Structure 1
Amino acid sequence: MSSFESVRAAVRVIADTAVQNEQYFCDLDAVAGDGDFGYSLARGFESVMENWDAIDDSNPSSFLRGVATTLATRLGGTSGPIWGTGFMRAGAAVKDRPELDLHDAHAMIDAAIGGIEHRGGATAGDKTLLDALYPVRDELSAAMTRSDAPHAVAVAVAAAARRGATHTKALKASRGRASYVGDRSIGYEDPGAVAVALMAENIAGLWSSGVNPDPSVPLQKESAR
């Protein structure tokens, strides 16, 4: 499997994770939000899968930007602009790159973070999906100094995302609808950060044994933690 094929497989896993965990993500969001995060995310990524064959896959950048456009159009609420911007910036970061390496992966995450920060005005500690993405970027940066196998990097990245998501439990929401409830948001994980962590864990499953399985195989749903 080429690096570009791996990107496509990863996006498919992200989409499957969003759709199959719709209720779980809604339940997380209902604690301090309006409870529709899972619904919005699932509808957006359902649209990505429905339009899969129509998305320009001439190169990684075009593909990611096509995914971004679909998400921005079909993913409702504030999530559409945020997730759409993340994918759009990631695609722009690897423009004209036919194949990708670890440095490109870091560049994509870094660009996605920058775009989300600019679009949503959030930063570290605001209890958003960024609190899971920052550790991912840090782990990719560290991985560039080592010579780990791809599956080891993926597992480490997933562990970093999960640590970030778990840490949001201690945070007070400063952005989004959850910020309206103030201290009541403390003690619960941010649904966006949990979604990032679960997606990273499922992506790591593609390489956990050093062999890439069929990305169309249904994934296990997450259970409440």
Structure 2
Amino acid sequence: MSSTFSQAGVARVESVIKLIAQTCVDNEKYFSDLDAVAGDGDFGYSLARGFENVIAEWDEYDRSVLSTFIQKVATTMSGRIGGTSGPIWGTAFLRAAISVKDKNDITQADVVAMLRSAIEGIMKRGGASLGDKTLLDALVPLTDAIEADLGKGLDGKAVAQHAAEAARAAAEETAKLEAHRGRASYAGERSIGSPDPGAIAIAVLSERVAEAW
């Protein structure tokens, strides 16, 4: 993988976002079933409705600058998803957009910055930290793996595969945690024993990206 993605890299980012959207729609029932164990069971439904709108509006988004495009996705997510998922996922996309504002070429460092900015936005918006049993518990290890592997000069396929493995392992580990954020936190110790649906979603999405790379 070269240090600069340029327009090909911009197209890659766009294709990854569309793949994320479609995967969330395809896994609506699975994600909702996971959420029903300790939550209110609407996680998959909420994501699917939001990303359905992203897909529906896909061809209408302004693509003159990558950051503008991602910001449009963020706006759709924030405005069309109910509960806490809309603000959280919308904030993640918005912060990612801000981190590459007005850039026409995307570097490896920019990819990491987008993920780090998304993480910071989620933490601030949701008041969550690592270990609170949220999607952060998979997203942070995924980002750490990507940053480390890019530093080693690994090719894109290898980076994506290792990131997926890191996300899956971390997501499964959330079954040992007690939830401290979201509806699952109301279950207290009863939330222990099942993985966090948000973390599993990150694992599924990263695996799908690795498969398609």
Query: What does residue 162 of structure 2 align with?
Result: 156
Is the Cα contact below 8 Å between 1:102 and 1:140 reproduced in 2?
A: no
**Secondary structure of the equivalent of 2:29?**
helix
**Normalising by the residue count of structure 1, what TM-score does the alignment of the two structures yield?**
0.90
Q: Which moved more, 1:23-32 or 1:92-101?
A: 92-101
Give the CA deviation at 1:136.
Answer: 1.4
Q: Which of 45, 65, 73 is the equivalent residue of 1:39?
A: 45
Query: Does 2:71 align with 1:70?
Result: no
Aligned residues of 1:4 and 1:59 also touching (Cα < 8 A): no
Structure 1 residue 96: deviation in Å? 1.9
**Residue type matched to 1:44 in 2?**
G
Q: Does 2:153 align with 1:139?
A: no
Give yes or no for contact 1:105–1:140 (8 Å, CA) kept in 2.
no
Give, as a single letter, the amino acid of the residue that structure 1 aligns with 2:148.
A
- Compare the two structures and name the one with the higher helix fraction: 2
Deviation of 1:141 after TM superposition, in Å, equals 2.0
Structure 1 match to 2:108 = 102
Match of 1:27 among 15, 26, 33: 33
Is the contact made by 1:158 and 1:201 (CA closer than 8 Å) also made in structure 2?
yes
Alignment correspondent of 1:190: 196
Alpha-carbon shift at residue 206 of structure 1 (Å): 2.0
The question of whether the paired residues in 2 share the 8 Å contact of 1:172 and 1:183 is answered with yes
Q: Let me know the Cα RMSD of the aligned residues.
A: 1.0
Does the 8 Å contact 2:150/2:159 carry over to 1? Answer: no
Q: Alignment partner of 1:144: what SS? A: helix
Secondary structure of 1:88's counterpart equals helix
Q: 1:82 aligns with which of 77, 85, 88?
A: 88
SS for the counterpart of 1:166 is helix
Paired residues of 1:133 and 1:161 also in contact (CA < 8 A): yes
User: What is the deviation of 1:58?
Assistant: 1.3
| Cα offset, 1:194, TM superposition | 0.7
- The question of whether the paired residues in 1 share the 8 Å contact of 2:65 and 2:103 is answered with yes
The equivalent of 2:4 in structure 1 is none
Number of residue-to-residue matches in the alignment: 207
Structure 1 stretches of 4+ moved >6 Å: none
| Residues 1:61 and 2:67 aligned together | yes
| Residue identity matched to 2:161 | V
Cα distance in 2 between the residues matched to 1:145 and 1:78: 35
SS at match of 1:187: coil
How far does residue 19 in structure 1 lie from its aligned partner after superposition? 0.4
The one-character-per-residue Cα deviations of 1:39-91 (angstroms, maximum 9, x if unpaired) are: 00000000000000111111221111110000000011100000000000001
Is this contact kept in 1: 2:146–2:160, CA < 8 A?
no
> Which segments of 5 or more consecutive residues in structure 2 lack a partner in the other structure?
1-6
